[in-house]
Amino acid sequence: MNKVTKEEIERVSKKIDLFEIGTFSFLDNLGIVCRGKSIEKTLLVKDKFDYCILVGAHENSMKKLSYLFEGKKIVNKLNIKLDLMSLSTYEKLNIRDVIVGVTRDKDGNIPKKRKIEEAHERCNLNFVDLPYEVGCFFKKEPRTVSNGECAAVVAGFLGTRNAHIIGLDFYHSPYFINEKIPSVGLKKKKRQMVDSFYKICESFPETNFHLYTYCREIENRYDNLYIEVLEDN
């Protein structure tokens, strides 16, 4: 596995870190909050970071957990469908920036451009797209397809020193808001997610990945991977 060089991280981070709320490059600590059931344990980790990537549409989960994120600088990582939360949720969490769920092609063009423009006109948020280099990383085998793992890749390219990840359960528990997990090909998806996460850890050795999860099938294979398996209530 080819490691991402410091020079590439320096170059790519400048293309990503265009957030209005503050600078996210080369932070000592960054939270990555996914939608798995283990986010119910966010209280255990909330003091480990002041900057945070909120992964996906947390409309319902934030009705219960928004108080845990008061005062934090948050950007929202959208999925490939560009599903947004309500304006009231963005205002409640003081989110002004969203990372779109598609990446630019080698010519600098971005898919779904019109849909992004329409969303911007509707909600007046700052939309930050991901550069071609990030998309190339996603496509390396094993492919990175889950939105939470895509956020971990973003953290790597931002030069994060410690990424604290919660709610990434590798399909081993339901989503926090009890959304149904598709059962077709689930065993393969679980394995692919785990293998993809190993790829991320190996590719960004300067980033320490602290994983707080309900998944018991991921192994602590790397010096920069720290796993705390949480007890599911």
- Residue 105's pLDDT is 86
DSSP states of 94-162 as a string? Answer: T--EEEEEEE--TTS--TTHHHHHHHHHHH--EEEEEPHHHHHHHHSSSP--SHHHHHHHHHHHTT-SE
Give me 37's structure tokens. 């059931």
Beta-carbon contacts of residue 201 (< 8 Å; ≥ 6 apart):
209, 221, 222, 224, 225
Q: From 122, 131, 31, 115, select the one nearest 76 (Cα to Cα).
A: 31
Q: What domains, with CATH codes, occur in the chain?
A: 6-229 (3.90.1480)
C-alpha 57/C-alpha 35 separation (Å) is 8
Task: Tell me the per-residue pLDDT of 53-79, one tens digit each, with 9 for 90 and over.
Answer: 999 988 888 989 999 999 999 999 999
- Residue 15's pLDDT is 95
| CA dist 109 → 131, 137, 139 (Å) | 10, 17, 17
C-alpha 89/C-alpha 92 separation (Å) is 5
Hey, which residues does 29 pair with through a beta bridge? 162
- Residue 101's pLDDT is 84
**Cβ(49)–Cβ(164) below 8 Å:** yes
Q: Which amino acid is at 189?
A: K
Q: Which residues of the chain have pLDDT under 50?
A: none
- Residue 107's pLDDT is 86
Q: At residue 194, what are phi and psi to the nearest 5 degrees?
A: -65, -45
